[in-house]
């Protein structure tokens, strides 16, 4: 991967980013190159439960009955994505981070006879839609100060910088924005106060 690529990072929106699609969003970046970028918003829960969606897909959900689907972004909101930590569940899943796999089609899953999901202590996120940027668009938004990149570090111990791959699956969506900023040593409260101060000067 190009060292300048943000693929495999998080993007954390600053409070000044007022686009309702991305307000206080945390985005897992899947692709980033000169042609553009693609990511999944992790912390925008929808009303639909994963159990309901699973039934419509002829899967049996064995996880938390209250778990909800998340809106991965405004592009193609009917397109589904599944992030999980079960490499054997989908034989064609892509390992997007160490220990974190992405399923984009259920056909290989059902062909393998795997009709249940979310059991045996696994962690699974169902998302609909994605976030996309044209070539150089994301770079311009970062240069304008709209996003803060957050590294995802698979190492263990105090040398880690950023968040872990498991953080992506295990963190409550309500805690993700503050947690991602905190991983950079940024106080979300100070960022919000800076925004209020800037507005007062306008």
Q: Domain limits at 93?
A: 10-196
For residue 154, pLDDT beyond 90: no
Report how far residue 197's alpha carbon sits from residue 55's, in angstroms, rounded to the nearest whole number.
48
- Average pLDDT, stretch 100-117? 94
Q: ∠200-43-73 over CA atoms, to 5°?
A: 90
Report how far residue 170's alpha carbon sits from residue 79's, in angstroms, rounded to the nearest whole number.
23
For residue 117, pLDDT beyond 60: yes
Residue 202 lies in a domain: no
For residue 197, pLDDT beyond 70: no
DSSP-derived letter for residue 59 is -
pLDDT digits (tens, 9 = 90+) for 4-57: 789 999 999 998 888 999 999 999 999 999 999 999 999 999 999 999 999 999
Report how far residue 145's alpha carbon sits from residue 30's, in angstroms, rounded to the nearest whole number.
21
For residue 169, pLDDT beyond 50: yes
Residue 125 lies in a domain: yes
Residue 4: which H helix or E strand, with range?
none
Residue 4 lies in a domain: no
pLDDT digits (tens, 9 = 90+) for 119-153: 888 999 999 999 999 999 999 999 999 999 999 99
β-pair partners for 39: 29, 131
Residue 105 lies in a domain: yes
Residue 201 lies in a domain: no
The predicted model scores a pTM of: 0.91
- Average pLDDT, stretch 69-75? 98
Return the SS3 of 40. strand
Report how far residue 202's alpha carbon sits from residue 194's, in angstroms, rounded to the nearest whole number.
13
Residue 18 lies in a domain: yes
For residue 200, pLDDT beyond 90: no
Report how far residue 168's alpha carbon sits from residue 74's, in angstroms, rounded to the nearest whole number.
20
DSSP-derived letter for residue 38 is E
Q: What pLDDT is recorded for position 121?
A: 87
Per-chain mean pLDDT for the chain: 90
% the chain with pLDDT above 70: 92
Least reliable range by pLDDT among 34-48, 66-80, 150-164, 168-182:
150-164
Number of domains in the chain: 1
Q: What pLDDT is recorded for position 191?
A: 73
Q: What pLDDT is recorded for position 198?
A: 46
| HEC assignment per residue over 70-106 | EECCCEEEEEEEEEECCCCCCCCCEEEECCEEEECCC
Residue 68 lies in a domain: yes
User: For helices 173-183 and 188-200, what crossing angle results, to 10°?
Assistant: 90
Q: What pLDDT is recorded for position 64?
A: 92
Q: What is the CATH number of the domain that holds 71?
A: 3.40.1740.10
- Average pLDDT, stretch 162-171? 94
Indicate if the alpha-carbon torsion angle 85, 88, 89, 93 is positive or negative: positive
Report how far residue 46's alpha carbon sits from residue 186's, in angstroms, rounded to the nearest whole number.
28
């Amino acid at each position: 991967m190009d060292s300048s690529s943000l693929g495999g990072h998080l993007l954390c929106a600053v409070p000044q980013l007022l686009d309702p699609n991305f307000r206080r969003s945390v985005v897992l970046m899947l692709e980033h190159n000169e042609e553009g970028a693609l990511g999944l918003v992790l912390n925008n829960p929808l009303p639909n439960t994963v159990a309901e969606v699973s039934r419509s897909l002829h899967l049996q959900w064995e996880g938390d009955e209250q778990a909800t689907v998340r809106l991965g972004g405004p592009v193609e909101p009917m397109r589904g994505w599944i992030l999980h930590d079960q490499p054997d569940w989908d034989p064609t899943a892509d390992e997007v981070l160490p220990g974190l796999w992405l399923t984009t089609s259920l056909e290989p899953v059902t062909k393998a006879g795997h009709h249940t999901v979310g059991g045996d202590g696994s962690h699974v996120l169902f998302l609909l839609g994605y976030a996309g940027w044209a070539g150089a668009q994301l770079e311009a938004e970062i240069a304008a100060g709209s996003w803060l990149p957050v590294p995802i570090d698979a190492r263990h111990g105090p040398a880690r910088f950023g968040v872990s791959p498991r953080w992506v699956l295990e963190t409550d969506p309500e805690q993700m924005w503050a947690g991602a900023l905190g991983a950079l040593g940024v106080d979300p409260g100070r960022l919000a106060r800076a925004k209020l101060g800037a507005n007062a000067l306008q």
